[in-house]
Amino acid sequence: MNNSCLIDTHIHSDNSPDGHHSCMFLCEQATEQGMRAIAITDHCETDTYREDNYERSTMQSYLEILKAKTSFTGKLIVLRGIELGQAAYDLPLAEKIIQMQEYDIIIGSIHNLRGRQDFYFMESFTEQEAYFIMSEYLKELLILTDWGKFDTLAHITYPLRYFYARNQIHIDMSRYKKETDELLALLAEKEKALEINTAGLRQPIHALSPEKELVRRFHELGGKYITFGSDAHYAEDIAKGLPEAREAALFAGFDCCVFYQNHHPMEIPLN
Ligand SMILES: [Zn+2]
Ligand SMILES: [Zn+2]
């Protein structure tokens, strides 16, 4: 197995509302699988921070990551991460959250439009709504990237998996060429990473987020860094889909992926 497939930079523990296993158990399983490094990146949703008590779960997650990091020294590199959702919806709070701990990697992500629920909880979409949502979603990603206080931008086509799962809607991403070019160019200019998220391979849509064409466009627009993340919410999903992420990265013209230590990109050759 190529080393790039032994580093998973996006994993949730049971300190995420939808996670199922403890940090220690995740690390044990990762070690047994022969992984080199994993980042535990629990959810911290900026826009529901107070009502969903993320202050407590984020602190708990960080302490458990530190404990696992010490316990697995010499066996597995355990990276201190966070998946910071919707940071741009409350920037002062987001700034405060990222300063509270010493993270290795901050994942920037968006799971819902402003004032609306996570796409995950939406029961159905019309094709017209799907196109509208994707357009709004890309605008929000651009605002988030303009802020830029994260290391890697996660699952940039996140709504697609729900359009497909709920209503078998496939939308044509080429209609958003101007928007995706603007987003990927800004991400490249800010020297941030694009994440290739493999969770969609385990869902009805059966696709990477983003798919390889957008990864290639990121490379063409000067993108230097990519990260691979399974977005595992169960220990058994750690590293799932990383070989497919590697294939997409090679197709796109990359020769390395990265993981982050103290926000510094560490390059791992794909060959
Ligand atoms: Zn996410
Ligand atoms: Zn995630």
pLDDT value for 57: 97
The ligand whose atoms approach the alpha carbon of 17 most closely is 2
- Each residue's pLDDT tens digit, 137-164: 999 999 999 999 999 999 999 999 999 9
Q: Is 99 exposed, middle or buried, given 0-12, 13-18 or 19+ CB atoms closer than 10 A?
A: exposed
Cβ(39)–Cβ(9) below 8 Å = yes
> Ligand 1 centre from 154 Cα, in Å?
6
pLDDT value for 133: 96
pLDDT value for 188: 98
> Ligand 1 centre from 153 Cα, in Å?
10
Q: What is the dihedral of CA 129, 132, 135, 139, to 10 degrees?
A: -110
- Domains of the chain as residue ranges with CATH: 3-269 (3.20.20.140)
Quick one: pLDDT band at residue 115, thresholds 50, 70, 90? confident
The mean pLDDT of the chain is 97
Residues 1-6: what's their mean pLDDT? 90
> Ligand 1 centre from 134 Cα, in Å?
16
Quick one: pLDDT band at residue 182, thresholds 50, 70, 90? very high
pLDDT value for 6: 96
Which tokens sit at 198?
A: 């493999």
> Ligand 2 centre from 32 Cα, in Å?
22
Share of the chain above pLDDT 70, in %: 100
The ligand whose atoms approach the alpha carbon of 39 most closely is 2
> Ligand 1 centre from 48 Cα, in Å?
15
Residue predicted with more confidence, 2 or 260 = 260
pLDDT value for 180: 98
> Ligand 2 centre from 270 Cα, in Å?
23
* 206, pLDDT greater than 90: yes
The ligand whose atoms approach the alpha carbon of 42 most closely is 2
- Each residue's pLDDT tens digit, 33-88: 999 999 999 999 999 999 999 999 999 999 999 999 999 999 999 999 999 999 99
pLDDT value for 122: 86
Quick one: pLDDT band at residue 121, thresholds 50, 70, 90? confident
pLDDT value for 173: 96
- Each residue's pLDDT tens digit, 239-253: 999 999 999 999 999
